[in-house]
């Protein structure tokens, strides 16, 4: 999603998304400087500029924001309470990042044929992308079997995050 523009999601999200870097494939290190900002970010504040038509999708966006800054436990707490394909998808990404690869695949199956899967597959940077194969590739790279592919996998993961966040945001505001 080369045209990903954080400003599209309102000031509260733009402020948080703009400061994030590329997520690592593993659990990463939580950015403690951002924690107060993340803790204060509620669905009401994040979507103050727009009315929310789907509260579950709004919560999905919050799960994604926590994940963006390597707060896996906080992301997990939110996503495990969202019984939708998108909630399952965020849940699967979180388990992939924490290194629980079989559980990540379980949650990817629960996501079903999520629209983001086909967006990823259609993207030039992710040709042939498959969520289950991606879990395996991330596992191999994290465990040291494919260090030369880490940068490419991180870029694909970031693209996946952008597509999923955009999808959830759009549904949250009724697009």
| Domain assignment present for 3 | no
pLDDT one-digit tens code per residue, 142-164: 998 777 889 999 999 999 999 99
Place of tokens 């939708």: 84
| Domain assignment present for 5 | no
Closest CA to 61 of 119, 25, 24, 9: 9
Quote the pLDDT of residue 175. Answer: 84
Whole domain around residue 59: which residue ranges? 10-172
pLDDT greater than 70 at residue 2: no
- Give the count of domains, the chain: 1
- CA–CA gap between residue 43 and residue 56 (Å, rounded): 10
| Domain assignment present for 141 | yes
| Domain assignment present for 140 | yes
| Domain assignment present for 2 | no
């Amino acid at each position: 999603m080369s045209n990903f523009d954080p400003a599209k999601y309102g000031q509260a999200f733009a402020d948080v998304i703009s400061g994030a870097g590329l997520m690592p494939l593993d659990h990463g290190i939580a950015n403690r400087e951002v924690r107060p900002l993340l803790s204060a970010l509620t669905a009401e504040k994040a979507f103050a500029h727009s009315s929310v038509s789907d509260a579950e999708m709004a919560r999905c966006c919050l799960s994604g924001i926590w994940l963006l800054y390597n707060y896996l436990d906080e992301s997990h707490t939110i996503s495990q309470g969202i019984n939708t394909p998108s909630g399952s998808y965020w849940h699967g990404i979180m388990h992939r990042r924490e290194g629980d690869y079989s559980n990540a695949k379980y949650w990817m199956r629960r996501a079903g044929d999520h629209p983001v899967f086909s967006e990823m597959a259609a993207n030039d940077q992710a040709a042939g992308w498959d969520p289950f194969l991606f879990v395996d590739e991330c596992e191999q790279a994290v465990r040291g079997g494919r260090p030369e592919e880490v940068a490419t996998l991180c870029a694909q993961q970031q693209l996946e995050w952008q597509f999923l966040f955009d999808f959830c945001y759009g549904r949250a505001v009724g697009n």
